[in-house]
Amino acid sequence: MNTKVLLNEDEMPRTWYNLVADLSKPPLPPLGPDGKPIGPEQLSAVFPMNLIEQEMSTERWIDIPEEVLAILYRWRPTPLHRAYSLEKALGTPARIYYKNESVSPAGSHKPNTAVPQAYYNKMAGMKKLTTETGAGQWGSALSFACSQFGLECKVYMVRSSYFQKPYRKFLMQTWGGTCVPSPSNETQAGRAILATHPDSPGSLAIAISEAVEEAVGDRSGTTRYALGSVLNHVMLHQTIIGLETKKQLAKFGEKKVDQVIACVGGGSNFAGLAFPFLADKMAGAEIELIPVEPTSCPSLTKGRYAYDLGDVAGMTPYLPMYTLGHSFVPHAMHAGGLRYHGMSPLVSQAAREGLLNPKAVPQLECFQAAVTFAKTEGLVVAPETSHAIAQVIREAKRAKEEGKEKVIVFGLSGHGFLDLQGYADYFSGELTNYDYPAEEVAAAMAELPEFATIG
Ligand SMILES: Cc1ncc(COP(=O)(O)O)c(C=O)c1O
């Protein structure tokens, strides 16, 4: 009766899985401000060409460079655990497994893409990367990755999180990164927001505008921008999670998985775990893939499928995605990494094609689930991850009611050691639930140009 399965380093996948190769329709292209598709050249001031090629690739399998593998070996393959203690506490006949991405240096799945992104930028001759961060996990991950390749790293951190989680900044600093609260006075986009909203709590969409502005404004041409989620190449890099999980489930003796569950902000830890299983589903396997989002930021469950900007200031192209509108102002809640208005175009397309079963859960149920998990399995998870656990508990209880012996796998995307303020606020009764109103989505959609509509 194994509690966990660890793979050897030589069992770690040597290729990433690209979902684009198996989708029934090719992804819609990104559009420029005139509504016309944009090509690789127009993205080259933002990303290096080797990553743009990956972003647009239709190859099913893409080799992971040796230099990237060498760094990933430090914590990968990550363990797959069987949650015996949680199962027992719930009295469920379900067998629950979790893939533990919290063992990475930054404490989450984010280094899985930070390392290859830093590597490809280094190969392209870049000296500096700029980025945004919500919860601080991505900014830490990129700072770590840049330290491995001798790159400078500048992080614009959503102002509310910056003050909620001061230790994230020190972590970035330890790896040599520079972290400033966003909106900042360092960019035009930041100054414009501060002029009208001096107390702005910031948002991921504002921080992205600032980071892109700094990258494209660098006259030396050796600064590029890195995004921690949403884009196709990020989903690709994260598939190492699901590919390992499949091997580990086989070692546990599981032949069939019923449900794969992960939280979604921009979609990357979900895509990483679920896309390799989605390949099986598209080939006929019966398997439910459940992305879980907060009721306060419900892009998949309440948003519209449309072309929208990735940021506030219009520095990014229009992407085809489920969105709440790029002017979305997030409600103060603790899962900072889930407070993004849009969803990865690939996750969105899969949802649009009816391949996913998205769910939304309220904040209090999530913290309650996180506490149950800590008391049973022992791990204190990130507030983002607690959304997956809340849904797992719902499914495990349903399995009990129905007397069904199903297999549930979920993504433990990160630990919560630097998110304890969220737990403190939960214990002191300060947290509330919030349902994002559908009228706000409709109002934001009305601001989009005509070409934004996807038929
Ligand atoms: C621990 C953790 N889980 C999940 C997420 C959500 O991002 P994504 O949907 O890209 O996995 C974040 C984002 O910051 C995070 O820090």
Atom of ligand 1 nearest to the CA of 268: 10
In-domain check, residue 296: yes
Q: Which of 395, 336, 340, 397 is nearest to 363 (CA)?
A: 336
3-state secondary structure 385-396: HHHHHHHHHHHH
In a domain, 202, yes or no: no
Say how far apart CA 36 and CA 105 lie, in whole Å: 41
The closest residue, in CA terms, to atom 5 on ligand 1 is: 337
Q: How far is the CA of 414 from the centre of ligand 1 (A)?
A: 8
* Pocket-testing residue among 143, 158, 268, ligand 1, by greatest number of atoms within 8 A of Cβ: 268
- What pLDDT is attached to residue 68? 98
Mutational pocket test of ligand 1: of 117, 232, 269, the residue with most ligand atoms within 8 Å of the beta carbon: 269
Domain count, the chain: 1
Q: How far is the CA of 36 from the centre of ligand 1 (A)?
A: 31
369 Cα to the center of ligand 1, angstroms: 17
pLDDT at residue 328, rounded to an integer: 82
The pLDDT score that the predictor gives to residue 165 is 86
- Separation of CA 270 and ligand 1 centre (Å): 9
Instruction: Kindly state whether residue 146 falls inside one of the protein's structural domains.
Output: no
Count of residues making up the chain: 455
Cα of 49 vs centre of ligand 1, distance in Å, is 26
The pTM is what? 0.97
Q: Which residues line ligand 1 (CB under 6 A)?
A: 108, 134-135, 137-138, 229, 263-270, 337-338, 382, 384-385, 413-414
Closest CA to 289 of 395, 363, 414, 393: 395
The protein residue with its alpha carbon nearest to ligand 1, atom 15, reads 337
Residue 49 CA to residue 54 CA, distance in Å, equals 9
Per DSSP, which regions of 40-174 are E strands? 61-63, 80-82, 95-100, 128-133, 152-158
Query: Could you report how far apart the first and last alpha carbons of the chain are, in Å?
Result: 51
Label the pairing between strands 95-100 and 80-82: antiparallel
Does residue 134 lie within any of the structural domains? no
In a domain, 14, yes or no: no
Q: What is the pLDDT of residue 110?
A: 98
Per-residue model confidence (pLDDT) at position 65: 98
Tell me, yes or no, whether 22 lies in a domain: no
- Provide the domain limits for residue 240: 4-8+64-107+233-452
- Residue 118, C-beta contacts closer than 8 angstroms, at least 6 positions apart: 129, 142, 145, 146, 148, 149, 151, 226
**Which ligand 1 atom is nearest residue 228's CA?**
10
Q: Of 252, 239, 211, 248, whose CA–CA distance to 22 is shortest?
A: 239
Please give the structure tokens belonging to residue 248: 């580990």
- pLDDT for position 335: 84
Dist. CA 191–CA 40, nearest whole Å: 30
221: number of Cβ within 10 Å: 12
In a domain, residue 23? The reply is: no
Cα distances from 264 to residues 6, 11, 183, 229, 313, in angstroms, run: 25, 28, 24, 10, 24
Task: Indicate which residue's Cα is closest to atom 10 of ligand 1.
Answer: 268
Detail the DSSP E strand segments found in 234-287. 259-263
Q: Is 284 left (phi over 0), alpha (psi -120 to 50) or beta?
A: left
Distance 363 CA to ligand 1 centre (A): 15
Q: Whose CA is nearest to atom 13 of ligand 1?
A: 337
Residue appearing with tokens 């459940």: 290
Ligand 1: centre distance to CA 237 (Å)? 14
Query: So what's the pLDDT on residue 313?
Result: 84
Report the pLDDT value the prediction gives residue 209, as an integer from 0 to 100.
Answer: 94
CATH number at residue 355: 3.40.50.1100
Q: Is residue 155 part of a domain?
A: no
pLDDT tens digit at each of 455 positions of the chain: 799 999 999 999 999 999 999 999 999 999 999 999 999 999 999 999 999 999 999 999 999 999 999 999 999 999 999 999 999 999 999 999 999 999 999 999 999 999 999 999 999 999 999 999 988 999 999 999 999 999 999 999 999 889 988 899 999 999 999 999 999 999 999 999 999 999 999 988 899 999 999 999 999 999 999 999 999 999 999 999 999 999 999 999 999 999 999 999 999 999 999 999 999 999 999 999 999 999 999 999 999 999 999 988 888 999 999 999 998 877 777 788 898 999 999 999 999 999 999 999 999 999 999 999 999 999 999 999 999 999 999 999 999 999 999 999 999 999 999 999 999 999 999 999 999 999 999 998 999 999 999 98
Residue whose Cα lies nearest atom 7 of ligand 1: it is: 265
